[in-house]
A and B are shown apart, each in its own frame.
Chain A
Amino acid sequence: MTRVGIAVAALLALLLLISPWQDENPKSGESTLRLAELMGAKQDVEGYLTARPGPIFTFPKDHWQHQGYQNEWWYLTANLHDRNNPDIRFGVQLTVFRFALAADREEDANPWLSPNMYMAHFAITHVADNQHRASERFSRQGPNLAGAKAMPQGDQSLAMTRIWLADWQLQSLTADDLFPMLLQAADGDKQIAASLSLKAVKPMVLQGEQGFSRKNLEGGGSYYYSYPRLTIAGTLNWDKHEFEVSGEGWFDHEWSSNSLAPYQAGWDWFSLQLQDGSELMYYGFRNHDGSDGLKYLARISAEGEKISLDTEQLDVTAVDQWHSPDGTVYPSGWRLKLPTQGLDLYIEPRVSDQLMDLSVRYWEGAVKVSGSHQGSGYVELAGYK
């Protein structure tokens, strides 16, 4: 779901951070804490297009960046393992965020004057080593310094979708569809790199109501679609080692201008791939007053059919905690019960510290699913303090 929230927070943080002359500089992490404030009254969506129910998408165009919307993200997570030794497991995340500084762009075709700012997060979790490394990049759109659009490839005249920031990229390998796709990212300082090819084994799913994902009862929402199951093969680099890996992944694309309401503090988000061939996508909001907010759960059948489930009977309970170095307490491990679906799942982080300790701080990591069903997935925890 709603990494739009993160996108907003991230890009507002980005403006604070990148602004070279911030005087009262926010300690990293505080930016996340200010999330609701930033997404509430201070958020000026005047002049931007807003997400409304009943969208009609056209592809491949809607894979690309949506000018006129304030924020947007493309998001890939994967649970991988060494091809020669399935016990060596990895989590991989690459997210590209876009944020517009202004609703319209002026007449001048000068690419530097595009109001689009990009940020990308790249992380690898090395489960056996109990380690997680995360890295980030920033760039304005500029003369193709970053973007999400169809780009002609080499000497071929075909234009293929490309989502990139500098040398980090998600590159489609066909003109008609998003997948198959190539993922490339590396951080020399952190000594992590990924070069993966991704194929969609299940078709695209429009989340929420035909692609409109509701965030609150005040009309806030985003456009949101997913590719819930990808097969992945390629190489990962960790320190001096290179691993031949394979596994499964999940891809999301979401864009919006009208996001959270002022009372919303944060959310928990799960994407789970079960061994029976079905997937679950869950999100639940938390309000400032401590109460639970809007919840949403969808199950995608092995055949690719999406069912939005009634959350009346749903029970998601945290069973453990993890204390981050700055003292923030995150839930760590959950029990998810929905008797009507025969679901009773234990969801447990593969590494407890998968904190994205970047200019926007949140927890995002690979999880293992057990209980009534076996499986893997990713969890995102935002807005904790």
Chain B
Amino acid sequence: MVGLRLLPPLLLQANLGYFRKHPWLLMFALLGIMLGVAGVSGVEITNYSARKNFDIANEQLLGQARYRLSSEQPIAESLLTQLREHWGVEAAPLISRHVRLHNDTGPVVQLLGIDVFQLQRFGPMQEVPVSDGFQPRQLLLEPASVLIGEISYQRQQLKGAELTLFTDRGDRPVNIIGRIGAADDSRFSSLLLMDIGRAQQLFNMAGKIDHIELNIDDDKAQKIRQWVPAGIQLVSVQKSRGATENLTEALHLNLSAMGLLAMVVGVFLVYNTLFFSLVQRQQLFGQLRNVGVSQRELITYLLLELLLIGSIGTLLGLLAGLLLADQLLVLVTRTINDLYAVSPIEILQLQPWLILKVVAVGLGGALLAGLMPALHAVKTSVRSSQSRVLLERKSRQLSQRLPGLSVLLLLLALVLYYLPQTGIVGGYLLVTALLLAGACLMPMLVSYSCRGLAAIRSPQRGLVFSMALKDTERGLSRTAVALMALMVAVAVTVSMSLMIGSFRSTLDLWLKQRLNADIYISPQTRLPDDYRSLAPQIWQWLQDQPEIETLASYQRVSTETLGRQLQLFASDLPPQAQSGYRFKSRFKHRFKSTDVQQVWQDFQQPGHILISEPLANRHGLFRGDKIPLMTPLGVEEFVIAGVYFDYGDSNGRAILSPQNFSRYWHLKPGRVAGLYLKPEADIQSLLNRIRRLPEADMLRISERRGVLDRSLEIFERTFLVTDVLRLLALLVAFVGMLSALMALQLERQQEMKLLRAVGLSLKQRVLLLSYQGLLIGLLAGIAAVPVGMLLAWGLIEVIQLRAFGWTLFYELEWQSLLQAPILAVTAALLACVYPAWKQYKEHSSVPDQILKSPPSGRLQ
């Protein structure tokens, strides 16, 4: 702050004096920036960390490999030999399995079986430290030897070298012969390395490997693609990475949206506070100008002040953001773990550019919010005596223009709505436009409301209330911004509540409809990549049970379509199960229903497929269109029999009938059985008989209730993250309102003295303050309801649809709606407490009688 030295000391003293007298304003300004920055940085750091950790967990070791050969079942290792001999390409074997540490409830880790002597060709591993005395050859020479990440070893509090792994082949003892990576190197978290031969021994898969990693160019890939046997797919590693990234995109996007909204509210808050501090100091500035401070000096000073407040606020915000991210990351990681059955790491990943971005947002926000009022204040400061009058006039002119601006913004929103190609960015612009349009209408609303209320004045209402009405309308120059800030804050929380509520109820309904069998049976597995089917004798046994009316069967595999990963289901669905599916019509209007009967008939036909709404939306596909699908026999085109609503995967899902599935896949369909019982059936006796089956130990038997509860529980945990953020937004909004209103009230202290002088009692003055606070709070709160509803519509119908391709069913929760005015009024009343107390204090220290004349706006 070298600039400070160049400024006249008087300027600094005067302003310091001002802030000493009004510490609240300073605090609110700092708080505004801090909360905004905390929101943005908390979310950004969380998102970045979660993504980075997820990536790290997935493909750290596979470094430069560009292509991967995979199949639905393990590949014969002779294929690797042929690739190396006939093609002379760099090819490495890979076994990739998930196992649990210790036992069937231990943490999931990824076990990679690799050719330890070839690793360097693929991975960027040269500079990784490894524990003393370890030699790679040990991995080959010593049975069941594993290398574990130092980070996991410490975090899991392992001791010694012995470790038990829970695998799909049961418990296996292994021997830790080395630890890899530094203790804080998250790349090696949740990771075990074995030599390929030892991994084959561990999983009883002699002669087989899961994948072959290839370091080849695209031309060679094209040739090899032609050459590999049927049933084996060559996929670009980049592409499959992209797919895993997509999985978490939904979560991150939602978080980002909330972080940004928190920032918007924060900026409003800062603007409001700074605006007040400037309006209050206008007289002061005028006097400073009179004693010779130049306009340039004044502007320089104000800019420095802004930067200082911005910097301190940003710094505090960043610290708070880190604390927030630390908490959020745990929740996000748990969610990712729940949804995708991987165990990413919970480590905050910081990047200089990330910090820089946050600082830029914080400082930028402060400057953006403060620059206009600062320039304005300086310009008008010369005519200090008439400044208030001028300000009022000017702001009235401005507020006359606001409705027009509002209409323009609404038009912009409309245009964006009809331009889906503007994508998510367009969606955000649309929502912002709606929000600002609502905010622009606020002054007009207040003005009309006050006039309206004044017109229906009755004698009972009393003088003070009328004064409050008049005063509020007249004081719009000061109150307009506070009002807008209030409304924005409340509307944002309302819209978020509504959106999340709609999301939740849509998912709830979807799960309840979809999971409608009475009992589900699947092979017992605690590992994410186990595709074993139920044994044929179990299917036979189930068919013979008298209680069972009908059976549904499900199998799930991963495949690719149109360059994206896709979850493909092979499902045999009886009418009961079919009733769990709702279809989208060919047209945009959802109420025009599709011929469901026809859809299910088509589904059974050869070459037909059902696809989920996100997949359909992403590629603009409708019933009757064709979709290419990667199958073990190559890419095949399927006719879309129907598009069903689904929220399980924003990447999309698809369903084939078992007959269609078996035409292309060797995997047996029927991994999971859904049992629909006869109405009078005794579910307990059936369950008991199932549990007495010889294979029962290998089965996972769940009643509908249990499955539903578990699914809902997982989704609830997903929402926990959003809830935390919503709470944060609510807090920002509340503090924002509080500070805006309090600043408003504190600014009136001078006026109060005047009112006191003309004879208003303490009670009357406090009432006046309260009425005004209440009025503003109520008006903002009520206005926030429709604006919030509109915003929620934008979030649901535009942003969610564009980002994830799914249609949420808009649900109005009255709690969320009611929340708005309550929040606003509470904040408004709370904001009156301190000014009222101040009135009381002044009153008791200086009785009315002593007060002779109103104090002039003397320089203090």
Whether, in the assembled complex, B128 has its beta carbon less than 8 Å from a beta carbon of chain A, the answer is yes
Bitwise, A16-45 to B at CB < 8 A (1) or not (0) is 011111110100000000000000000000
Say whether A167 contacts B200, CB under 8 Å: no
Whether, in the assembled complex, A50 has its beta carbon less than 8 Å from a beta carbon of chain B, the answer is no
Within 8 A of B (CB), among A289-332: none
Question: How far is it, in angstroms, between the C-alpha of A22 and the C-alpha of B120 when the chains are bound?
Answer: 10
Say whether B137 contacts A101, CB under 8 Å: yes
Q: Which residues of chain B have C-beta atoms less than 8 A from A166's C-beta?
A: 84-85, 88
What is the size, in residues, of chain A's interface with B at 8 Å between Cβ atoms? 33
Say whether A110 contacts B197, CB under 8 Å: yes
Say whether A20 contacts B129, CB under 8 Å: no
Q: Which residue of A lies closest to B143 (CB)?
A: A106
Q: Which residues of chain B have C-beta atoms less than 8 A from A188's C-beta?
A: 88
Bitwise, A138-174 to B at CB < 8 A (1) or not (0) is 1110111100000000000000000010111000000
Whether, in the assembled complex, A113 has its beta carbon less than 8 Å from a beta carbon of chain B, the answer is yes
Say whether A25 contacts B126, CB under 8 Å: yes
Whether, in the assembled complex, A230 has its beta carbon less than 8 Å from a beta carbon of chain B, the answer is no
Choice from A21, A108, A143, A168 contacting B130 with Cβ under 8 Å: A21
Choice from B78, B136, B143, B196 contacting A112 with Cβ under 8 Å: B196
Shortest distance from the beta carbon of A161 to any chain B beta carbon, whole Å: 16
Bitwise, A338-370 to B at CB < 8 A (1) or not (0) is 000000000000000000000000000000000
Say whether B207 contacts A143, CB under 8 Å: yes
What is the size, in residues, of chain B's interface with A at 8 Å between Cβ atoms? 37
Stretch at the interface among B110-118, B370-378, B458-466, B730-738: B110-118
Whether, in the assembled complex, B125 has its beta carbon less than 8 Å from a beta carbon of chain A, the answer is yes
Whether, in the assembled complex, A186 has its beta carbon less than 8 Å from a beta carbon of chain B, the answer is yes
Question: How far is it, in angstroms, between the C-alpha of A64 and the C-alpha of B196 when the chains are bound?
Answer: 26
Shortest distance from the beta carbon of A104 to any chain B beta carbon, whole Å: 10
Whether, in the assembled complex, A124 has its beta carbon less than 8 Å from a beta carbon of chain B, the answer is no
Q: Which residues of chain B have C-beta atoms less than 8 A from A143's C-beta?
A: 77-78, 80-81, 207
Q: Which residues of chain A have C-beta atoms less than 8 A from B180's C-beta?
A: 21
Question: How far is it, in angstroms, between the C-alpha of A331 and the C-alpha of B84 when the chains are bound?
Answer: 38
Say whether A140 contacts B117, CB under 8 Å: yes
Whether, in the assembled complex, B140 has its beta carbon less than 8 Å from a beta carbon of chain A, the answer is yes
Question: How far is it, in angstroms, between the C-alpha of A168 and the C-alpha of B118 when the chains are bound?
Answer: 17
Q: Which residue of A lies closest to B138 (CB)?
A: A101
Say whether B140 contacts A20, CB under 8 Å: no
Whether, in the assembled complex, A88 has its beta carbon less than 8 Å from a beta carbon of chain B, the answer is no
Q: Which residues of chain A have C-beta atoms less than 8 A from B206's C-beta?
A: 109-110
Whether, in the assembled complex, A6 has its beta carbon less than 8 Å from a beta carbon of chain B, the answer is no
Contact A22/B197 with A115-B140, A140-B117, A166-B85 known, Cβ cut-off 8 Å: no
Q: Which residues of chain B have C-beta atoms less than 8 A from A164's C-beta?
A: 85
Whether, in the assembled complex, A15 has its beta carbon less than 8 Å from a beta carbon of chain B, the answer is yes
Shortest distance from the beta carbon of B407 to any chain A beta carbon, whole Å: 65
Q: Which residues of chain B have C-beta atoms less than 8 A from A175's C-beta?
A: none
Whether, in the assembled complex, A336 has its beta carbon less than 8 Å from a beta carbon of chain B, the answer is no
Classify the interface of chain A: helix, strand, loop or mixed: loop
Bitwise, B48-83 to A at CB < 8 A (1) or not (0) is 000000000000000000000000000001101100
Say whether B140 contacts A101, CB under 8 Å: yes
Shortest distance from the beta carbon of B1 to any chain A beta carbon, whole Å: 47
Say whether B136 contacts A20, CB under 8 Å: yes
Say whether B130 contacts A112, CB under 8 Å: no
Contact A145/B80 with A19-B135, A115-B141, A140-B117 known, Cβ cut-off 8 Å: yes
Shortest distance from the beta carbon of B647 to any chain A beta carbon, whole Å: 43
Shortest distance from the beta carbon of A166 to any chain B beta carbon, whole Å: 4
Q: Which residue of B lies closest to A22 (CB)?
A: B126
Whether, in the assembled complex, A206 has its beta carbon less than 8 Å from a beta carbon of chain B, the answer is no
Q: Which residues of chain B have C-beta atoms less than 8 A from A17's C-beta?
A: 120
Q: Which residue of A lies closest to B77 (CB)?
A: A143
Choice from B118, B127, B128, B140 contacting A113 with Cβ under 8 Å: B140
Q: Which residues of chain A have C-beta atoms less than 8 A from B117's C-beta?
A: 18, 117, 138-140
Whether, in the assembled complex, B119 has its beta carbon less than 8 Å from a beta carbon of chain A, the answer is yes
Say whether A15 contacts B81, CB under 8 Å: no
Whether, in the assembled complex, A102 has its beta carbon less than 8 Å from a beta carbon of chain B, the answer is yes
Contact A23/B130 with A18-B136, A138-B117, A143-B77 known, Cβ cut-off 8 Å: yes
Contact A21/B126 with A101-B141, A113-B140, A143-B77 known, Cβ cut-off 8 Å: yes
Say whether A167 contacts B86, CB under 8 Å: yes
Q: Which residues of chain B have C-beta atoms less than 8 A from A106's C-beta?
A: 143
Question: How far is it, in angstroms, between the C-alpha of A168 and the C-alpha of B85 when the chains are bound?
Answer: 8
Question: How far is it, in angstroms, between the C-alpha of A111 and the C-alpha of B116 when the chains are bound?
Answer: 15
Say whether B81 contacts A21, CB under 8 Å: no
Shortest distance from the beta carbon of B112 to any chain A beta carbon, whole Å: 13
Say whether B118 contacts A18, CB under 8 Å: yes
Whether, in the assembled complex, B195 has its beta carbon less than 8 Å from a beta carbon of chain A, the answer is yes
Shortest distance from the beta carbon of A379 to any chain B beta carbon, whole Å: 29
Shortest distance from the beta carbon of A165 to any chain B beta carbon, whole Å: 9
Q: Which residues of chain A have C-beta atoms less than 8 A from B88's C-beta?
A: 166-168, 186, 188
Whether, in the assembled complex, B579 has its beta carbon less than 8 Å from a beta carbon of chain A, the answer is no
Whether, in the assembled complex, B87 has its beta carbon less than 8 Å from a beta carbon of chain A, the answer is yes
Q: Which residue of A lies closest to B124 (CB)?
A: A20
Say whether A140 contacts B115, CB under 8 Å: yes
Bitwise, B169-202 to A at CB < 8 A (1) or not (0) is 0000000000010000000000000011110110
Whether, in the assembled complex, B106 has its beta carbon less than 8 Å from a beta carbon of chain A, the answer is no
Question: How far is it, in angstroms, between the C-alpha of A168 and the C-alpha of B86 when the chains are bound?
Answer: 10
Choice from B126, B128, B135, B201 contacting A108 with Cβ under 8 Å: B201
Q: Which residue of B lies closest to A165 (CB)?
A: B84
Question: How far is it, in angstroms, between the C-alpha of A22 and the C-alpha of B127 when the chains are bound?
Answer: 7
Whether, in the assembled complex, B123 has its beta carbon less than 8 Å from a beta carbon of chain A, the answer is yes
Say whether B120 contacts A20, CB under 8 Å: yes
Interface residues of A, Cβ cutoff 8 Å to B: 15, 17-23, 25, 101-102, 106, 108-113, 115, 117, 138-140, 142-145, 164, 166-168, 186, 188
5 contacting pairs across A/B (C-beta < 8 A) = A18-B118, A20-B116, A22-B126, A108-B201, A143-B77
Top-5 shortest CB links A-B: A112-B197, A167-B88, A20-B120, A20-B125, A166-B84
Contacts A109-B206, A110-B206, A140-B115 supplied; 12 other A-B pairs, CB < 8 Å: A18-B120, A19-B135, A20-B116, A21-B180, A101-B141, A110-B201, A112-B195, A112-B197, A138-B118, A166-B88, A167-B85, A188-B88
Interface residues of B, Cβ cutoff 8 Å to A: 77-78, 80-81, 84-88, 115-120, 123, 125-130, 135-137, 140-141, 143, 180, 195-198, 200-201, 206-207
